[in-house]
Structure 1
Amino acid sequence: MRDGFETRESWPFECLRCLFVWEADYVVRHLTDDHGNEVEIWLSSGVTVQPPWSGTDCPACGAYHTTSFPAGYLTRHPELMAPPEPVALADVPVQPVKEISVPLERAAPPRRLLIAVGVPVVLFVGYELYENLLGPTLHH
C-alpha cells in the first residue's frame, strides 16, 4: 500500500425494532496499492470493523434491524436524539421534595373495543350453553 488518507465520518442510525436513535463515529482509511486497487478500512475506536451499511446492531436492544440517516441529519433534527443523562452535582444542596397526593383516576376502557369483543363472546357462550344444556332434550 503506498497512497492513502483518512477521513472521519459520523453515521446516524435508528433501530427499527425499539426506535432508538444514535450516532456512531468512524475513521475511514482510503488506501491504494501498487496495482491501483482502492481499499477502504473502517475503524471504530481504533478497531477494524465492518462498514456501517453491512449490518449494525442496536446498542439498546441488540437488534440488527437498523437504518441509517444521511450525514448531518441528526444535527438538523436534534429532537430525534434521546435527552442526555442527568449529571449529579455534588456541590448543589438538595432540598426536600414536597409530597403531593394526586388522586389516581382510572382511564375509561374503550367502549367500542369492549363491544367488538364482548358481543361475539356472549353469542358464542350463549350458543354453547343452548346446545349443551337444552339441545339434548330438544333433539330426543
Structure 2
Amino acid sequence: MKPGSQYSIRRQCRLAGISRSVIYSEPAAETETNLTLMRLIDEQYLRHPEFGYPRMTDWLRDQGYQVKHKRAARLMRLMGIQAITPGPHTSKPAPEHKIYPYLLRGMDIDRVGLVWSTDITYIPMQFGFMYLAAVID
C-alpha cells in the first residue's frame, strides 16, 4: 500500500473496475521506422491536409517506404490527424443558432482602425510548435 493511501492497490483497482496488470504495464515504444514515418506523414499532412490514409500510403510508397494502408491509417490515427473533407450539409445553419447580420454592408471604410480582423494558426517547428497570431487592420 502506498504511503498516504487508505486503500490497497488491489482494492483501488477493484473499485475502478480495472485489472491490476494495467497499473504495472508500460506501453510499448514506437520503433524508429514508425517515428520516421510519423514525421514524414506530419510534414506531408501540413502540405496536403486533404490526404487521407490511402493517398498518404501512396505518397509514402513513392518516397521508397514499404508501407501498407493499415499501418498508415494506424499512425495517422495515433497522431490524431485525418483528411480535411467537407461534411454533409456544411452550409445549412442549425435552426437553434442565431444568425448575425453582416455589419460592414454599406459601410464606407475610409480610415485606419475602423475595421480589423484577427487570426491565429499553429506552426510546427523542429523541436515543438508555436502559435502565430495576426491582427489585420
Q: Which has the higher helix share?
A: 2
Shorter-chain TM-score bucket reads under 0.3
Q: Say which one has the larger Rg.
A: 1
More strand by share: 1
TM-score (norm 1): 0.22
